Structure 1
Amino acid sequence: MRFPEDMVEQILNHMQGNLQEERCGLIGGVNGEAHLFLPITNILHSPTRFRMDASEQWQAFQTFEAQGLELMAIVHSHPNGPSVPSPTDLAEFAYPGVLYLIAAPTAEGWQLRGFWLDEGQIREEGLEISRNASS
């Protein structure tokens, strides 16, 4: 999966914008290439869980469709770590075939990692960061 460097910066800035709660969003793309990040409100306002605002999520899907994009990834933060899916993430994940991104602080600064979640199994996916501007 390829992500433009400026999009990764946008995602991390959004995730760091409120360290009191998990933040979330959706990424649309085509053929493994990310094109659009859309932040979505976490209606739980929780530091350990997220639930996307349904109307914002629906609007994001409409935007993706209008731009010829597919849902490529779901992203959320773990403001207090860890940078891997939690048991809650595994239990509540509902989009098989969609990459799951987690932004979390590490000793080197905030990190974005990708995972495939399938029937309780976790497989990490390397992220390719390109210097190209996002469309």
Structure 2
Amino acid sequence: MLTIPKEIIDAMIAHARWDFPLEACGILGGTDGLVSDHYPMANIDQSNEHFMMAPKEQFAVVKELRAKEKVMLAIYHSHPETPARPSEEDIRLALTPDVAHVIISLAGAAPDIKAYRIEAGVVTQEPITIS
């Protein structure tokens, strides 16, 4: 289970809306399933169908989290016009089973946020608690 503060949920939604119609992406860090750090990242693919974070930027975030004695808990991205579920590409590119995948859909009247664990192509929805 992931626990995400409302302020971070709001910031993720704002990021997704700001980057619309492109996919937004970022990293959530913390400890023991409790998110405390939010890192909006640039989608270097500039696409509305997929995302790619700059490896140097990702490495800098991981390094900062380690210095704070925290870990990467989740990678998030938006689906500007599709539901909050992993696409075939999301599943294929998910290489870190210990990191959750949070998807923000902007397809409906209100944003929809869901989290998943993806391991060896198997997708399991993970509960999110908003604190």
Tell me if TM exceeds 0.5: yes
Instruction: State the 1:20 CA deviation.
Output: 2.2
Contact 2:28–2:72, Cα closer than 8 Å, also in 1 = yes
Distance 2:121 2:11 in 1: 30
Q: What's the counterpart of residue 24 of structure 1?
A: 25
- Residue type at the aligned position of 1:115: Y
Gaps of 5+ in 1: 131-135
* Structure 1 range deviating more: 23-32 or 100-109: 100-109
SS of the residue corresponding to residue 60 of structure 1 reads helix
Instruction: State the 1:103 CA deviation.
Output: 0.4
Matched, 1:43 2:44: yes
Q: What's the counterpart of residue 122 of structure 1?
A: 123
Q: What's the counterpart of residue 65 of structure 1?
A: 66
Q: What's the counterpart of residue 11 of structure 1?
A: 12
- Residue type at the aligned position of 1:54: P
Q: Deviations over 1:25-69 (max 9, x none)?
A: 001110110010101111100100111011111111111111111
Instruction: State the 1:106 CA deviation.
Output: 4.5
Q: What's the counterpart of residue 88 of structure 1?
A: 89
Distance 2:32 2:109 in 1: 31
Q: What's the counterpart of residue 3 of structure 2?
A: 2
Gaps of 5+ in 2: none
Distance 2:74 2:108 in 1: 25
Distance 1:88 1:115 in 2: 14
Equivalenced residues, count: 130
Distance 2:108 2:43 in 1: 26
Q: When the two structures are superposed, what TM-score results if normalisation uses the length of structure 1?
A: 0.92
Q: What's the counterpart of residue 54 of structure 1?
A: 55
SS of the residue corresponding to residue 16 of structure 1 reads helix
Distance 2:108 2:56 in 1: 36
